[in-house]
Chains A and B, each alone.
Chain A
Amino acid sequence: MSNWLEENDLFIDPQRCIGCRACEAACAECGTHRGVPMIHLEPLNRPDSVKTAPTLCMHCDDPACAAVCPADAIKRTDDGVVQSSMKPRCIGCSNCQIACPFGVPKVYRARAQMNKCDMCYDRTSINLKPMCATVCPSEAIFFGPKSVIESQRKNKANNQFIFGKQKITTKVHIMMDASDEPVELDIMDFISTTIEDSQPWVV
């Protein structure tokens, strides 16, 4: 294994995302998942805003998707990249889709298999950057050493998230406003504010 993946990390800065979908197009170009992008561009609050955030696999140190997989189909490599499901093993049960706190895995019903971002392992294992990071025009997705991005930007890279009692450390970093403390996330907070603020069904 090369130390390319140990020297470099992937950083996501949702504030910089301009919603151009270049990352989706680039991801779909990849030969290992022909035509289907493994990166999702999530609209944050569609009724009120055009704001989007790129969602790709966070590559947890202790991946929940692999822990719940009944078919033993999701594996993590030595350099910490959680792979997409293995075709001969995956049974398409969507346990991983339910377990992932970041909402990354997606089961494709037509082929009865889960596919997700594997940080372009075909490229990163031979010292190339992931597709999305090479095309992102605003560097909302950045691949490089942590020291470089911290010297270039004001905000801090964070890779620890707290969901209830569980603290999750990931390989992929998210750029936060001037704080590298672990981020506490409660999904209900986001849902309730979204519903109260927008109420798109009320005329």
Chain B
Amino acid sequence: MQEPIEKRLKEKFKEIPKWAEDFPIDQNRDSNVSRRDFVRYLGLVSLGFFAGTTGVWLKSIFDRKQKHIYQSMKIIDKEDLKIGESYVFEIPDIKEPAILMRLDQEKFIAFGQKCTHLQCPVIWKKDERILFCPCHKGAFNGLTGDVLYGPPERPLPKLKIEVRADGVYFAGMERGELV
């Protein structure tokens, strides 16, 4: 029973155009999405989203309970970092960036470099003694890692630093977690 329509379309357009396939006159070629099917689809999709976010939430609870054990590593020689300067390094086993600052002769301080807002790398501003995030103009106290202003709400994770005779060493976390 479909011949007359197809014949007319072929005479006019040489081949059956896309719109005629999308909006067919014949009932059996029509895609009938009923209201019930659509609501069922919506329900399943929202259930999927709910299950996914619940899974992520449960995983974060599980991860929070596990403490990562860091290997001690040498960051830099004392002479290579001048007073007031900063040095960016990577913690190898978790591949996270961190930033080390030398405040005076014996005082070194280090934080995770990812801004706690949207994880842009923070930069050391020597004159103001802040760690500044250029993405959204957030700033952290360079001595404590606390938020001074801007969108971030949590302080930067602080690294434990040991100054030995042969260099500056990273020795685990003092506050917060990098991962």
Contacts A80-B1, A88-B35 given: A75-B8 contact, CB under 8 Å?
A: no
Instruction: Return B149 CB to nearest CB of chain A, in Å.
Output: 55
* Bound-complex Cα distance A83 to B25 (A): 10
- Whether B35 contacts A72 by the Cβ 8 Å rule is no
B8 neighbours in A (Cβ, 8 Å): 62
Closest residue to A6 on the B side, CB-wise?
B1
| Chain A stretch 64-103: residues in CB contact (< 8 A) with chain B | 66-67, 72, 74-80, 83, 88
* Bound-complex Cα distance A63 to B8 (A): 12
Chain A 5-35 per-residue mask, 1 if CB under 8 angstroms from chain B, else 0: 0000000000000000000000000000000
Size class of the contact patch on chain B: 10 to 19
Closest residue to B33 on the A side, CB-wise?
A88
CB contact between A76 and one of B3, B23, B27 (< 8 Å): that residue: B27
- Whether A63 contacts B25 by the Cβ 8 Å rule is yes
A78 neighbours in B (Cβ, 8 Å): 1, 26-28
Closest residue to B8 on the A side, CB-wise?
A62
- Whether B5 contacts A62 by the Cβ 8 Å rule is yes
A79 neighbours in B (Cβ, 8 Å): 1
Instruction: Return A10 CB to nearest CB of chain B, in Å.
Output: 16
A-B contact count, CB below 8 Å?
34
- Whether B27 contacts A77 by the Cβ 8 Å rule is yes
* Bound-complex Cα distance A78 to B27 (A): 7
* Bound-complex Cα distance A80 to B5 (A): 12
| A177 interface contact, C-beta 8 A | no
CB contact between B23 and one of A63, A72, A77, A169 (< 8 Å): that residue: A72
* Bound-complex Cα distance A169 to B8 (A): 13
CB contact between B25 and one of A75, A88, A169 (< 8 Å): that residue: A75
Q: Which of B3, B8, B25 has the most CB of A within 10 A?
A: B25
| B30 interface contact, C-beta 8 A | yes
Size class of the contact patch on chain A: 10 to 19
A76 neighbours in B (Cβ, 8 Å): 1, 25-27
B25 neighbours in A (Cβ, 8 Å): 62-63, 66-67, 74-76
| A61 interface contact, C-beta 8 A | yes
A77 neighbours in B (Cβ, 8 Å): 26-28
Instruction: Return B21 CB to nearest CB of chain A, in Å.
Output: 12
* Bound-complex Cα distance A142 to B5 (A): 27
Q: Which of B3, B27, B28 has the most CB of A within 10 A?
A: B27
* Bound-complex Cα distance A88 to B32 (A): 11
- Whether A83 contacts B27 by the Cβ 8 Å rule is yes
* Bound-complex Cα distance A52 to B25 (A): 32
| B92 interface contact, C-beta 8 A | no
Closest residue to A74 on the B side, CB-wise?
B25
* Bound-complex Cα distance A88 to B33 (A): 11
Instruction: Return B113 CB to nearest CB of chain A, in Å.
Output: 56
Instruction: Return A89 CB to nearest CB of chain B, in Å.
Output: 10
13 A-B pairs in the complex with CB atoms less than 8 angstroms apart: A61-B4, A62-B4, A62-B8, A72-B23, A74-B25, A75-B25, A75-B27, A75-B30, A76-B1, A76-B25, A77-B26, A80-B1, A88-B35
Q: Residues of A at under 8 Å CB distance from B?
A: 61-63, 66-67, 72, 74-80, 83, 88, 169
New A-B contacts (8) at CB < 8 Å, excluding given A61-B3, A72-B30, A79-B1 = A66-B25, A75-B30, A76-B26, A76-B27, A78-B26, A78-B28, A83-B27, A169-B4
